[in-house]
Chains A and B, each alone.
Chain A
Amino acid sequence: MSGIVESTANVARISRTGFFLRFLRAALPGLSFALVILAIAWLNPRAISYLGLNLMLNLGIPVALATVAQMFVITVNDLDLSIGTFVSFVGCVAATWLRDAPFLGVAVLIGSVLLYGVIGALIYLRNVPSIVVTLGMLFVWQGLAILVLPKPGGKPPVWLHDLMNFRTPYAPFPIFAAIGIAAVVEAGLMRTSYGAILRGSGGNPNAIGRAGWSLLKTKIVMFTLAGLFGVFSGLALIGLTTSADANIGKGYTLLSIAGVILGGGEFVGGRVSPIGAVIGALTLTLAGSLLNFMRISPDWQVGAQGGILIIVLAARSLINQVGRTAP
């Protein structure tokens, strides 16, 4: 009798530790974001104002959109190395054709989203590693961007510029935009039944396949969504920067992958978090401002992003280890 009581107590303790660790893992993105905000507030209190936050978080929106795009691809156990040059390409189209010949511009953008779906289909049908295929696409988008806009320049359509520079009451626009993006993707991917199928096709493809769902279709859906959010990212970026060049999105591949991981996404197994990904993207953007306030040379900007990524992964691996060895 006492044995049973004891083991029940043990179970309770295990589940309590497990719960705490799971909570810690889930809170990690939010914690790192809060940490960066606090550090900025401490170093430069004036930065935490309507104008300051607007300036700092502005460029976080295209990064967050690209991160969500990358997250869709990572959900199905693939990796998109081409998202950065795709954002460049979209930016170049937005700053030229979308303004001068809207129908052509829209058609090209829709076409490129569909091409993303085709890439997903090819990766599934030929069972080839996504990094090689998307590495090829990296060059294709780069080439197309140069063909569309050989020299830096162009101008965004007026509506796009106005949208991205919209002044919202109470809090700056980027905050509303980030909440909107996170809410929409969270609702679609985490709260719908087909969203569960999509995540499942990354977590256990065999089970999803046996249950009668088309894995080809889930792959196409996820890559098409990635293309769609890639387009949104490029549009948002051009709305903010007011001109384009063929290398404008160069750093986005690395940023987007880092954002997903920072946001609590697992690299394989369909375990991702849209809210986390958006927070991760904003954290990386703010980290740039923080380094400026700390007067760290811009040389170390990318290095610091790598460092943050490594620290977060180390923290997570530590939590996992504690979870495994806990009584």
Chain B
Amino acid sequence: MKFVRPARILAKPWIWSYLGALLVWLAAIAFTHGYGAGGMVTAALALAVFSVIAGVAQMFVITLGPGNVDLSLPANIGLASAVAMKMMDGSDALIVIGFLAALASGIVIGVFNYLLIRLLRIPPIIATLSASFIIQSAGISYGRGLQIKPPPGYADFTSAQIFGIPLLAIGTAMFTVVMAVILHRTIYGRSVLAIGQNSRAAWLAGISVERVRCATYVLSGALGGVCGSLLAGYFRGSSLEIGDEYLLASIAVVVIGGTSVTGGRANVPGLWGGALFLVLLLTMLNTFGVSAGIRFVVTGLVIIGVIIAAGGQPAGR
């Protein structure tokens, strides 16, 4: 009976993402002969935060079932970063206002996405894609020539550390615990899972499917807004391309973290494993000194490798 427990841990889908993260970290410090090992972890935690926030958003949406995905996240993040910086206007007194404005912009995008899906009866992929076109243009037009630095207080907050652990990482860790509780212990969270497993059965069981779907797209939009404003603080300014990498990142951390891409099964701890794995993978490739082209190719192949290894539903539809 002694060997049951390790076996049970290995059966958890998220354990592989942490093992992967550990492996690439070891490979990186083996290359530098142990130099900068701690610094790498600190930097990785700081960068992983943004992928985790975007990942939580994407995870709730993907868990709603096949076809549900939020492709507007990158544009949303880009616009929110511009909104936050413009509202804060470099002044410490306006930090809260700017943050709330970015959050509001995200919520509006979430509502817009849902309305497109509901009113036009189009698949979420197409709806969020069309929305992202429009958000992108709004972002370009709104953020034209925008070179506003974040308020010093906000910039310090986003890069503050406690004993080598970024403050944001601690905050995001607590946030993910809350989201895990919401997912597994509240009526809303369980409804999301039920809809993902079988939306018709969920509807027959009396769950108001449309209200839950609406809440989920709004949640995703809101988290995009939060992610954008934090990114603008961390990278000392906004840009439209700031969110570009989070389309791949948000979907990748969900997939790598052991969440079922066909919906109905979500995994919160895996998001951190997936995010750390992705960031450390890039760190490792950077320490190896490979070119940007190879970095892209390897990142792409890793995503494909993971999804192919994980596989989809065994039987047909």
Contact = CB atoms under 8 A, between A and B. Distances in A.
B137 A140 contact: no
A54 interface: no
B275 to A, nearest CB: 16
B303 interface: yes
A300 B134 CA distance: 8
B296 interface: yes
A188 interface: no
Classify chain B's interface size: 35 or more
A268 B121 CA distance: 13
Contact of A303 (B133, B292, B307, B317): B133
B300 A143 contact: yes
Interface stretch (B138-146, B190-198, B211-219): B138-146
Contacts of B133: 254, 302-303, 305-307, 309
Contacts of B313: 127
B248 A135 contact: yes
Interface stretch (B6-14, B16-24, B98-106, B124-132): B124-132
B136 interface: yes
Most chain A Cβ neighbours within 10 Å, of B134, B141, B292, B313 = B134
B94 interface: no
Among A206, A267, A310, the one with the most B-chain Cβ atoms within 10 Å of its Cβ is: A310
Chain B CB within 10 Å, residue with most, of A122, A135, A257? A135
Given A128-B307, A137-B300, A139-B299, A313 B137 contact: no
Interface residues of A, number: 47
B235 to A, nearest CB: 21
Contact of A147 (B130, B131, B252, B294): B294
A297 B141 contact: yes
Given A129-B261, A299-B144, A302-B137, A138 B131 contact: no
B97 interface: no
A261 to B, nearest CB: 6
Task: Pick from A122, A126, A138, A143 the residue with the most CB of B within 10 Å.
Answer: A143
A317 B293 contact: no
Interface string B45-75: 0000000000000000000001001000000
Contact of B300 (A129, A138, A147): A138
B262 A129 contact: yes
A150 interface: yes
A135 B301 CA distance: 10
B308 A126 contact: yes
A261 B122 CA distance: 11
Contacts of A261: 126
B206 interface: no
A267 B141 contact: no
A302 B138 CA distance: 10
B69 A128 contact: no
Contacts of B289: none
A137 B304 contact: yes
B69 A309 contact: no
A138 B137 contact: no
Nearest to A143: B296
A254 B248 CA distance: 16
Contacts of B77: none
A79 B310 CA distance: 20
Contact of B291 (A140, A145, A147, A268): A147
B251 A135 contact: yes
Contact of A299 (B69, B116, B137, B308): B137
Interface string A123-145: 00011110111011111111111
A238 to B, nearest CB: 19
A288 B302 CA distance: 37
A143 B293 contact: yes
Contacts of A129: 66, 261-262, 307, 312
Nearest to A206: B316
Contacts of B262: 129
A136 B132 contact: no
Contacts of B310: 128
Contacts of B261: 128-129, 132
A218 B94 CA distance: 58
B171 interface: no
B136 A128 contact: no
A307 B126 contact: no
Contacts of A309: 126, 130, 133
A313 B248 CA distance: 27
A270 interface: no
A129 B316 CA distance: 12
Given A132-B307, A267-B122, 11 more contacts: A126-B311, A135-B252, A137-B300, A141-B300, A143-B298, A144-B293, A146-B291, A147-B293, A147-B297, A307-B133, A317-B119
10 contacts: A127-B312, A135-B247, A139-B248, A143-B292, A297-B141, A299-B144, A309-B133, A310-B130, A317-B120, A320-B121
